[in-house]
Amino acid sequence: MSHHIVEFRDVKFRYPDGTSALNGISFRIIHGESVGLAGANGAGKTTLLMNLNGQLLPTGGVVSIGEVPLCGKTRQEIRKKVGLVFQRSDDQLFMPTVYEDVAFGPINLGLSQEMIDERVKDALETVGCLHLSQRPPHRLSEGQKTSVAIATVMAMNPDILVMDEPASNLDPKSRRKLINLLKGFRHTKIVASHDLDLILDVCERCIIIRDGRVVADGPTEEVLCNESILQENNLELPLSRQKR
């Protein structure tokens, strides 16, 4: 399934104000891999994710999804394959009701009303929020907003699920529900998070970036239990691995 492969080749990104956020990042993620992305604040995680589905376009190097290189002309095609859940759910939820938010993507795919209804129902059932379909998003709890934001992406049937800090602002029960949901997603997933225990739970591989460069890449248990690597990158051992 080559269309599920994610590849960054010497990718660079510089913001209009001159800030250099990515400085030659290279990695390859194959179909079905679950990859955690870790790093201190300002390391470049969010910029990397936004280059994954065309929210931003690289200023150097190549981002490709399968055989398709990311550029202005292919941006829409790649967004159909790569579903991005933003760090702030409020950035993703903007319609009067939950149903309309989840239906927004399928509508823009040109699907029939019957298919739209089916996609919305399936996505909301997957995240356990079908009962919220007629609620206004601004009346939801943070955990519910996160679940609905995930549903808006799931309704697009993405090959690759990308999430930016999905556990922020979640209570323990909502966090566990999110972990179980991510474990059930069988396609490729990429999760950027400061919650290293979440990465340990749901990702078999972990990439650490610093100053817009990859500084560690390997099995999650090995990377996140290496105290010297973590200290060098202003990170701490996951709570579950700290000595009581």
Mean pLDDT, range 136-155, rounded to an integer: 90
Q: What is the pairing mode between strands 60-65 and 68-69?
A: antiparallel
Whether residue 3 is predicted with pLDDT greater than 80 in this model: the reply is no
Give the model confidence (pLDDT) of 231-241 as tens digits. Answer: 999 999 888 88
Rounded alpha-carbon distances, angstroms, from residue 26 to 71, 115, 227: 17, 38, 24
Whether residue 196 is predicted with pLDDT greater than 80 in this model: the reply is yes
Rounded alpha-carbon distances, angstroms, from residue 134 to 93, 101, 139, 237: 13, 10, 11, 42
Give the model confidence (pLDDT) of 44-77 as tens digits. Answer: 999 999 999 899 999 999 999 988 999 999 998 8
Q: Residue 2: pLDDT band by 50, 70, 90 thresholds?
A: low
Give the model confidence (pLDDT) of 168-194 as tens digits. Answer: 777 888 888 888 888 888 789 999 999
What pLDDT was estimated at residue 217?
A: 97
- Is 202 contained in some domain? yes
Neighbours of 174 (CB within 10 A): 17
Please state, in angstroms and rounded to a whole number, the distance separating the CA atoms of residues 55 and 106.
19
What pLDDT was estimated at residue 142?
A: 84
What pLDDT was estimated at residue 30?
A: 92
What pLDDT was estimated at residue 216?
A: 96
What pLDDT was estimated at residue 213?
A: 96
Please state, in angstroms and rounded to a whole number, the distance separating the CA atoms of residues 5 and 66.
5
Whether residue 230 is predicted with pLDDT greater than 80 in this model: the reply is yes
- Ramachandran sector of residue 68 (left: φ over 0; alpha: ψ -120 to 50; beta: rest): beta
Look up the domain containing 38 and give its range.
2-235
- Is 243 contained in some domain? no
Mean pLDDT, range 27-53, rounded to an integer: 94
- Is 75 contained in some domain? yes
Mean pLDDT, range 130-151, rounded to an integer: 91
Please state, in angstroms and rounded to a whole number, the distance separating the CA atoms of residues 204 and 32.
10
Q: What is the mean pLDDT of the chain?
A: 91
CATH code assigned at 116: 3.40.50.300
The dihedral built from the CA positions of residue 231, 207, 23 and 165, taken in this order, carries a sign that is: negative
- Is 240 contained in some domain? no
What pLDDT was estimated at residue 239?
A: 84
Give the total number of structural domains in the chain.
Answer: 1
- Is 244 contained in some domain? no
What pLDDT was estimated at residue 191?
A: 95
Q: CB of 144 within 8 A of CB of 177?
A: no
Rounded alpha-carbon distances, angstroms, from residue 195 to 50, 111, 171: 20, 37, 13
- Is 242 contained in some domain? no
Give the model confidence (pLDDT) of 70-108 as tens digits. Answer: 999 999 889 889 999 988 888 889 999 999 999 999 998
What pLDDT was estimated at residue 179?
A: 87
